[in-house]
Chain A
Amino acid sequence: MRMTSVRPLRPPPPPEPPALHVRAMDNLAFIRDTMEAAGSFTAVSGWGMVAVGALAAIVAVIAAQRPTAFGALEVWLASAFFLPIVMLAAIVEKARRAKMPLLSGPARKFVLSFSPPMVVGALLTLVMYQGGMVAAIPGMWLLLYGTAVVAGGAFSVKIVPVMGVCFMAAGALALFSPVSWTPWIMGAAFGGLHILFGIPIARRHGG
């Protein structure tokens, strides 16, 4: 049996067009997504890295003057509190200048991938410090910092994971080289690598 379809006398009203602010937010999201897909913008601040590198080089010189490995470790531990603050301030400033949300999709992924190795590093530092394995701590730091940068850098521009690999290489070198080399490897890595990679990131990838 064939049934004819029922056509309403009055067509249903067209759906309400989206409000202006909804369209504005949609446009901003589109711009952000396109910039991220274009792949050249990184939330990582190149100038922040240069600043961190310069400060780390000063820290390395101070740490190298301490007579014991414990003393040097204390200097680096103190710097571990203020160097991330410098970097964070630079990242916030870069995002503000670029009018990008601080925690955009890739930036959120970067933080989520970067954090676990850093947490592991903090816990291992405690355990190794208590176990008297102080000499191995700088190498472990470099290895895990490099791991964090490689993992986080998978969602960033290519140069970021390359920097992470360099930190991992420096970590491996620190673990298997004489203890007397450690302060210089730390200085060359945290100071030199940050400056070396920070300048091209700043020039080519938005500051």
Chain B
Amino acid sequence: MAKHGAARDDARAHDTARGGGIRRAPARKQGELDRLIHERLRLGIVSALAVNDSLSFSDLKKLMKTTDGNLSVHARKLEEADYITCTKSFEGRMPKTQYRLTAIGRRALEKYLDHMEALIRATRER
């Protein structure tokens, strides 16, 4: 039952992720906050993928406690920026959507962590 539910989630991810050309994230100036992963849900997706080889759409949905549409939209934004990759396959007849963090995404998360640490350090030094 649960498996079918997960498969339905993945099928929705297949549908929602269709259409629209690939857009790249706008270039940022040095030291500027990465707005793309600053958003909570996207930050969560990147963080979860940073400690896993890959996660399915339903894994991420459970983890982030969010809706299909919301997750699809935010995952799509990360995909467009090349922060994550999305692989669609079938397990038997069930569609399966797997997400992976790319090297660019990992670097972005590291930079974001450095940025947060720098903010905290700067306050302590004041």
Instruction: Tell me the A residues contacting B by CB distance below 8 Å.
Output: 19-21, 24-25, 27-28, 30-31, 34-35, 37-38, 40-41, 99, 204-206
Contacts and interface: CB of A to CB of B under 8 A. Distances in A.
Contacts of A27: 38, 43, 116
Interface stretch (B4-12, B13-21, B47-55, B68-76): B47-55
Contact of B63 (A19, A30, A31, A37): A37
B48 A38 contact: yes
B51 A40 contact: yes
20 contacts: A19-B123, A20-B119, A24-B115, A24-B116, A27-B43, A27-B116, A28-B120, A30-B43, A30-B47, A31-B43, A31-B113, A34-B44, A34-B47, A35-B47, A35-B48, A35-B50, A38-B48, A40-B52, A99-B110, A99-B113
Given A37-B63, A40-B52, 7 more contacts: A20-B123, A21-B119, A24-B120, A35-B48, A35-B50, A38-B47, A204-B53
Contacts of B109: 31
A184 to B, nearest CB: 36
A28 B116 contact: yes
Nearest to B114: A99
Contact of A30 (B44, B50, B53): B44
Contacts of B115: 24
A20 to B, nearest CB: 5
A31 B116 CA distance: 11
Interface in B69-126: 109-110, 113, 115-117, 119-120, 122-124
Contacts, number: 56
B40 interface: yes
Contact of B51 (A19, A21, A24, A38): A38
A24 B119 contact: yes
A98 to B, nearest CB: 8
A21 B124 CA distance: 9
A28 B47 contact: no
Contacts of A25: 116, 120
B122 A21 contact: yes
A-B residue pairs, 6 tightest by C-beta: A21-B123, A38-B48, A24-B119, A41-B51, A34-B47, A24-B116
B24 to A, nearest CB: 24
Nearest to B110: A99
Nearest to B49: A38
A65 to B, nearest CB: 43
